[in-house]
Chains A and B, each alone.
Chain A
Amino acid sequence: MFALALIELPLLYSEVYRRQGGHRMITSAFEYHRPSDLAGALSVLEEHGDDARVIAGGHSLIPMMKLRMADVPHLIDLQDIADLKGITVEVGTVTIGAMTTQHDLINNKALLAAAPIIHEAALQIADPQVRYMGTIGGNVANGDPGNDMPGLMQCLDATFTLVGPDGTRSVKAREFYEAAYMTEREDGEILTQISFPVTNSGFAYEKQKRKIGDYATAACAVLIAKEDGKVTSASVAMTNLSDVPVLSEAAGAALVGTSCDAIAMKAAVAAALQDIDPTEDNRGPVEFKIHVAGIIISRAIARAWSRA
């Protein structure tokens, strides 16, 4: 429903001019729905089909609507649905409601203990004002390759819960993303929660950006578990280096069994770079992005290893 192909937001703006000959900061008229429970949200979604879309924090959708790149006659605001908020850590599993804000992620002590990488990554998303509104669910569900949480969720091997007219199902973050803005989620479904195992691995989220609020030039999430001085498991995922988040299994495999020495690190970086496909934009040409990606990946691995 939101197939903006591989075009990134800034390039979209000139596309707006090309197609419509107009500037935009005012959305088309829309009907605003604010259900108080999930059933209510699902029924509006079912009633209006393609004409309806849910809104979480709105940081991706509202700019799209203002640019009139997204035409949403029925907007369903999820913020009154209490069940969609909150963080629990129980029997080795972290569960986060989709409407939990980045601000809440940063300030939750149980989450900090259970998965400190979330804290490190969320602090690198936008600025405090945005994080008061921006949610983890919106961040992972939208399918924007620039968003930080999808790669992180792949790194954590998270599971997304989708609720729709046919009931509830689970999809692995590692299998969720198809292309930019294209995901496994069906039109009638709402992503309600995210869960992943508690981790005590060494961690790092390394991100290069031009300024506060920017998408990554390159970013990388790494988790490394260590025993007897050797890597027992490693997970390496990258942000904004392809049209989807990229989990490099080969990079992880290159580290396992090693002591994360220079040779292993080099092999892991080389493997990770095989899995990405960045495009040129105002941040720079492909050659630059690949080089920076290599640096960011190796720094993330080194920092995660130092904490393992």
Chain B
Amino acid sequence: MKDEVTREERVTNLKGLGSSRKRVEDARFTQGKGHYVDDINLPGMLTGDFVRSPYAHARVKSINIDAAMALDGVVAVLTAKDLEPLSLHWMPTLAGDKQMVLADGKVLFQGQEVAFVVAKDRYIAADAVDLVEVEYEELPVLVDPFKSLQSDVVLREDLDPTAPGAHGPRKHHNHIFTWEAGDEEGTNAVIDDADVVATEEMYYHRTHPCPLEPCGSVASMDKVNGKLTLYGTFQAPHVVRTVASLLSGIEEHNIRVVSPDIGGGFGNKVGVYPGYVCSIVASIVTGVPVKWVEDRMENLMSTAFARDYWMKGKISATKEGKITGLHCHVTADHGAFDACADPTKFPAGFMSICTGSYDIPIAYLGVDGVYTNKAPGGVSYRCSFRVTEAVYFIERMIEVLAIELNMDAAELRRINFIKKEQFPYDSALGWEYDSGDYHTAWDKALKAVDYEGLRKEQAERVAAFKRGETRTIMGIGLSFFTEIVGAGPVKNCDILGMGMFDSCEIRIHPTGSAIARLGTISQGQGHATTFAQILASEIGIPADSITIEEGDTDTAPYGLGTYGSRSTPVAGAATAMAGRKIRAKAQMIAAYLLEVHDDDVEFDVDRFVIKGAPERFKTMGEIAYAAYNQAIPGLEPGLEAVSYYDPPNMTYPFGAYVCVMDIDVDTGVPKINRFYALDDCGTRINPMVIEGQIHGGLTEALAVALGQEIAYDDMGNCKTATLMDFFLPTAWEVPNFETDFTVTPSPHHPIGAKGVGESPHVGGVPCFSNAVQDAFRPFGNRHTNMPHDHWRIWKTANDLGLHD
């Protein structure tokens, strides 16, 4: 039969790699048909709600639940005493520490969980929370990590002050760990002898991922069958299943964890929260399902924050600007419990990527973790582990060094970039960068924005300002970032002992459509769209005929979940590898059907053809059907495959960003006139989804740089627990973004793809911040801390005498 469809059309019909296929998820999300945790309502279900601490540090003298229990509709009020017999009043954290599930004798941060009320509905539960009487005795509050390290006040009375912690010796009862990378002695020697040294201290403020949907869970213990089903906002459902099994003693095969639709995660939903544990215990105690869903204030006050790094840097260079060494020390405020979500061996995440995109021969990083009376956490908010902190640090140090050298910061970057021919590149702090072409990206970016023209315009504006003709100044923010994503190789990356591989299992149906299940879980990334595209190109079945399913541990293969831009680098690779197994078997089936040797057929878009005779072929649809209806000698029936992928290395996406900003020095109001973002994420799976990710990540970068923070007063009161004060930008605050790209494939990834969702955040924060700081550079500014909200910008202008 004549094939009337051209090869080009066949490629297009697949909607495979490179296609800007529309997101298949959006049909339900845009019509209000998403199905989130709070949409789950099981027969007889009860609702839980927390009594939380009003104090940042206090001893709990007594808890009286009588009045609450007397309220009609209240079923139970759990306290630490009720959880203790089950050994569930404390739980392990991902960082090797432990955390109170419910206050055990004292509270350590405002909003800490004290008691869990279980009632017939949400309203009764809220009333009952009011009726639980807790008597507190206030204790001295430590909100400053430097003071905490000097204080006689012992925050964690449960820990032996002289015993080592999970990451080695502790220097003080409020000290958690010291973590080091690189050669301190050698670095100091280089810096001491250098022509030029720039030093700077910077605070990367505490903020919060603040997903639109807060955290929650529904636990349902079926006592007859001994099965626990747990629905929840989990970025890593399999890890939650393993942890739930280890904590509860229920065998893992009797636990089913389901992550339904998730309304954004950004790192906030990686950890395990007391609410999850309490909903499980309450369901075990009551024998009926129990739901817990937190509100916005609870989300901002008690679940995982991000950043809170006090960074001190020294960078040395030759007179010509060639960087010779970098020294970084971080005092890391981890809050009341060390609940950072990092691979086990990396208590400061991948902060050691802080040499950035530059060829720096020697470097040292030291990080000291500290307990304070603040909420626990330390997750990677839209970035790989602590990479936003690292990139902010180096991109500020470059700017400060440029000031010291009296050099243009774009040129300083250019002469220090790792060169294309140096890849794979071994960094001074131990990473092997897989691929990059930084000079090409930088030149393209600077040309696109007419960088020289911008600098001229800025100089004219400065002159006009000094002549009194304008009250606005102009900033040109630059950043060049290298992300490190795709954790990661099992040899050095694990979470609670589980190697950070990921997985994909594919079943081809007889009629030529397919389902693929993965160990990851989309929270808005669009996996159902993009993973189908990877498969379409690998196995020749249209993406529209492939269902992608994630998040149900009873059906999905084991995986470590979605965070740190690891899904495409790891699960995406597993998907391609599983697809190749399908293709290998399909080749044998095709050869049998065409009555030729296996080696005489080759894959062509959506079919196998006889080499040299492409008019003789079997489509993947025909091959799939044959797999189920023919007895093929030497082959099992069916067409399925599974792949567990342990990546040989991380992937290192990079990008070049430029922000052009006006600042009204009298009001402190910034106005972004232009934002250009060039991203290189290797092979591009779906350009439209990439663009959406860039827009989202830049929006969150704008938020963090220009105002989003979790702030405390001296009493440890959280001052920013509502969206009135916690800055979540809307369309009104967000500028137009111009996106661009280069393509430098990852050499070790099966399809050459790198992660991308977090790059715009990692590169965006320093870019916005550098724009503000660059505007003030001609007036003597060196560094000011984020967030650059109106009053802090105004204060910079005021401090520089621009209001005189």
Query: Which residues on A are within 8 Å of B, measured CB to CB?
Result: 9-11, 13-14, 17-26, 28-29, 68, 127, 208, 210-215, 217, 282-285, 288, 291-292, 295-296
Contact = CB atoms under 8 A, between A and B. Distances in A.
B126 A13 contact: no
A24 B52 CA distance: 11
Contacts of A291: 666, 794, 798, 803
Contact of B727 (A19, A211, A285): A211
A52 to B, nearest CB: 21
B730 A23 contact: no
A66 B263 CA distance: 23
Contact of A295 (B666, B713, B721): B666
B111 A23 contact: yes
Give the interface centre of B111, B668, B795 by most chain A CB atoms within 10 Å: B668
A295 B732 contact: no
B790 A284 contact: yes
B725 A10 contact: yes
Question: Which 8 residue pairs of A and B lie closest in terms of their CB atoms, listed nearest first?
Answer: A284-B791, A26-B126, A17-B54, A25-B295, A14-B717, A21-B54, A212-B732, A288-B791
B794 A211 contact: no
Nearest to A287: B798
A295 B665 CA distance: 11
A65 B790 CA distance: 31
Given A9-B724, A13-B721, A288-B791, A21 B52 contact: yes
B796 to A, nearest CB: 12
Given A18-B54, A23-B52, A208-B667, A282 B790 contact: no
Contacts of A21: 51-54, 114, 134
Query: Which label, helix, strand, loop or mixed, suits the secondary structure of the A interface?
Result: loop
Given A13-B297, A23-B298, A211 B54 contact: no
Contacts of A23: 50, 52, 111, 295, 297-298, 301
A68 B732 contact: no
Contacts, number: 112
Contacts of A9: 722, 724
Given A21-B54, A22-B51, A29 B791 contact: no
B790 A283 contact: yes
Given A208-B667, A211-B730, A24 B126 contact: yes
Give the interface centre of B110, B713, B724 by most chain A CB atoms within 10 Å: B724
B669 interface: yes
Contact of A26 (B51, B122, B298, B667): B122
Nearest to B703: A211
Contacts of A19: 54
Contacts of B130: 20, 22, 68
Contacts of A217: 790
B537 to A, nearest CB: 42
B208 to A, nearest CB: 15
B298 A282 contact: no
B707 interface: yes
A19 to B, nearest CB: 8
B123 A288 contact: no
Give the interface centre of A23, A215, A285 by most chain B CB atoms within 10 Å: A23
Contacts of B803: 291
Contacts of B669: 208
Interface string B336-369: 0000000000000000000000000000000000
B707 A210 contact: yes
Contacts of B730: 127, 211-213
B719 interface: yes
10 contacts: A14-B110, A14-B719, A17-B52, A20-B130, A22-B54, A24-B297, A211-B729, A214-B724, A284-B790, A295-B667
Nearest to B664: A295
A80 to B, nearest CB: 25
Give the interface centre of A20, A25, A282, A292 by most chain B CB atoms within 10 Å: A282
A282 B717 CA distance: 13
B756 interface: no
Contacts of B707: 210-211
Given A210-B790, A212-B730, A288-B795, 14 more contacts: A10-B720, A10-B725, A13-B722, A14-B713, A14-B718, A22-B54, A29-B127, A211-B729, A211-B730, A283-B790, A285-B791, A292-B666, A292-B794, A295-B666
B110 A22 contact: no
Nearest to A280: B791
A283 B721 contact: no
B296 interface: yes
B733 interface: yes
A100 to B, nearest CB: 24
Nearest to B718: A14
B794 A25 contact: no
B375 to A, nearest CB: 13
B296 A211 contact: no
Contacts of B798: 291
Contacts of B298: 23
A121 to B, nearest CB: 17
A18 B717 CA distance: 9
B410 interface: no
Contacts of A215: 724
Given A210-B789, A211-B727, A282-B711, A22 B52 contact: yes
Given A17-B110, A29-B123, A211 B666 contact: no
B794 A20 contact: no
A125 to B, nearest CB: 13
Contacts of B53: 17, 21
B732 A211 contact: yes
A43 B668 CA distance: 51
Contacts of A24: 126, 295, 297
Interface string B269-296: 0000000000000000000000000011
A97 B52 CA distance: 43
A13 B297 CA distance: 9
Contacts of A296: 667
B627 interface: no
Contacts of A213: 724, 730
Nearest to B50: A23
B546 interface: no
A201 to B, nearest CB: 25
A19 B130 CA distance: 11
Nearest to B294: A23
Give the interface centre of B122, B296, B667 by most chain A CB atoms within 10 Å: B667
Interface string B712-745: 0100011111101101011011000000000000
B795 to A, nearest CB: 7
B791 A283 contact: yes
Give the interface centre of A25, A211, A288 by most chain B CB atoms within 10 Å: A211
Contacts of B52: 17, 21-23
Contacts of B50: 23
Interface in B41-57: 50-54
Given A211-B729, A282-B719, A292 B296 contact: no
B129 interface: yes
Contacts of B789: 210, 284
A149 to B, nearest CB: 19
A144 to B, nearest CB: 13
Interface in B634-676: 666-669
Contacts of A14: 110, 713, 717-719, 721
Nearest to B713: A14
Contacts of A28: 127
Contacts of A282: 711, 719-720, 725
Interface string B289-327: 000000111100100000000000000000000000000
Give the interface centre of A14, A18, A29, A296 by most chain B CB atoms within 10 Å: A14
A20 B720 contact: no
Contacts of B717: 14, 17-18
B714 to A, nearest CB: 12
B122 to A, nearest CB: 6
B791 A20 contact: no
